[in-house]
Structure 1
Amino acid sequence: MASIAPSPVALSDAAGGQPLLHRQLFDATTGTYTYLIADVASGEGVIIDPVFEQHERDLSLIRELGIQLVASLDTHAHADHVTGSWLMHQATGCAIGLAQSARAQNVSLPLEHGDHVNFGSRHLQVRSTPGHTDGCVTYVLDDQSAAFTGDALLVRGCGRCDFQQGDPHTLWRSITEQIFSLPNSCLLYPGHDYTGRTLTSVAEEKAFNARLGGGANERDFVGHMTNMKLPHPGKIAIALPGNMRSGQPRDEQPAQHWAPVQRSFAGLPELPPSWLAEHRNAVTVLDVRSEDEVEGPDGRIETSLHIPLQDLEQRQAELPSDRPLVVVCHAGSRSALATQQLLKAGFDRVANLRGGLLRWSDEGYPLVGSIHH
């Protein structure tokens, strides 16, 4: 069984007997929250409501933390963005989970009320919470300390009910019977927010939600929801058909890339030493260390081009334009900065050597002039 990579970021959640990793990610264009949850002991995890355009970011985090993704889950068939579930399935082999009532294509994990989605020793319970759409579900963590409500319940608000099988009476029952029945301390993580509010709780929404909290009854709620007169979602014509395919693009032809570049969670294009070792003659290896380092005991990759980082901006004309660039330094830090500079300068076939010459050497690849064995 895979385990989460031993990094401070990953293991901080394991301290104090808390074996759950939880990350909240944000898409600013659509105001969508994506959640990554993993059982630290086993390394298994799930992602909730991924966004198509954020796939590389999300996949980079999953790979950096060493998470074995069990499922990509959506809370409903969205009208404002296309899900990244199909892309995540293609990249990791994970299941695609969505309410069975949504009747979308490519769903390998059709969900119904009461189902459990297991990851390691933990699980999410599926609660059907229709009203925004027929296929809305809320995912409740096994100890009821947290729930992921999608658009059924937002921070001080809720999903609209005026299209896509929406019904305010149904949504009232979903929220009051399925979400407000959770412990008052249960943290609620919404599918969207447009003002920077990241989470709430059952107790807070019971007290302060302007639509159904503070003693409001069903009549109050329905009156509010039926008089909102909201504009139609701008991306609905693209989002709904895309989500009925679970995010599978109509054009499935893969993009052509010069190498299997992976982006780090920081957004940096990277390649592993194994790929560079096999394709070294097809690229230019750019070493951005100082002259003393290149000629020193650490050694260098044979045939690499040496331009110190501080001179790179003035000497870019020396870089060949007909070959991709793989940038290296001692541990990958200075070469990361150099890679960013080259990308900004218009070099589109450039990547950082992941882990630098340290990782190159640790994996057994040769360095000319090295005194290390």
Structure 2
Amino acid sequence: MLNGNTSPIQDDSAIAINPFQHPDDVKIWIRQQAQALGFADCGFISVDNPVFEAQMQGLEKWLAQDYHGQLTFMEKNHDKRANPALLVAGARTIISVRMDYLEVTPKPRRIEDNLRPNYAIIARYARGRDYHKVMRSRLKKLAQQIANMLPQWQHLKISAERPFVFRPFSDSAPIFERPLADAAGMGWTGKHTLLINRQAGSFFVLGELFLSLELPEDKPTSAHCGSCQACIDICPTQAIIAPYQLKAKACISYLTIEHDGVIDKQYRKAIGNRIFGCDDCQLICPWNRYAKVSPIDDFHARHNLDNSLLLDLWQWTEDMFLKYTEGSPIRRTGYVNFLRNLSIAIGNAPFAQVHIQALQQRLGKHNDMLDEHIHWAINEQLSKTGHSSI
């Protein structure tokens, strides 16, 4: 039937209106799905963004200063760091995601870890399951949801490749992860070189999803550190040598996780009772009064790793270490380096005869490297009593 203007009369309820009228609508939808999967937020950036080339200049200078220690992987794959499109053929956009990992919000601007010298301090991100697996699994789910929506987005002409291409990453490729997230508006780079978000502090991990969709980029946010340098002042080993400059090989996280072998004596007292990583520069940051508790159970502490005595962990056999660190990032230290870290922490603990006895029981049972740390720890314990060193 025609009306007076000879145009068809249609029932409004029969008209299907596609809610996706602009690529920004796609981004809104993707962000909603990401949050439903447990990601706190996400940002979008092109694989051709100039931030990658700019970061290469800073990386080359950092390497030339020999701040990277045994992080030799930073010396490789510079072509892919500068041009992430080489990592995934056909990729046009990178979605940067962040995932909160705190189980309990710490008291703001307090280093509570220092109040428990007989307990083993493990960085908060590492007390539960390995976040890399959680991150990649959920990024893959997000990509599959996106793939299911492609027919509704055909009219937007955002598909640069067919078939649809995607690949998730989580600290698993030569990617400028933090600068990428910074450029995608996920936060700003703090003076400790970690990303800070105005609504959520810095207790989160990052991941990336490469896609063969051309989506508008997000804009970076402004920095809000101001004149504050609490993170620089608090660093136990003074690894933050200047704002935005980290001497990685002096950082406790590097020393207790990445460094293999003997830890330089100049850092041992400063390590305190931290046996895997260090949260001090985050704990002192005023922005972490806004840090969020994670909704993801995998970040909850397992095997009492948030409340274990040094001597209890010192008694672990290698089989126990492998059992209790299954699916945990702590495994990457290896058993002997794990004991190395514990020996330093026990040496730094308040004097107790049981500490010396426990240390002595492991002498000669592993290797010369560990024995050297055990001797150091025993001497540290004895020095607190006025006794002579051995």
> Could you state the TM-score of these two structures normalised by the residue count of structure 2?
0.21
The higher-RCO structure (CA 8 Å, 6+ apart) is: 2
Structure with greater strand percent: 1
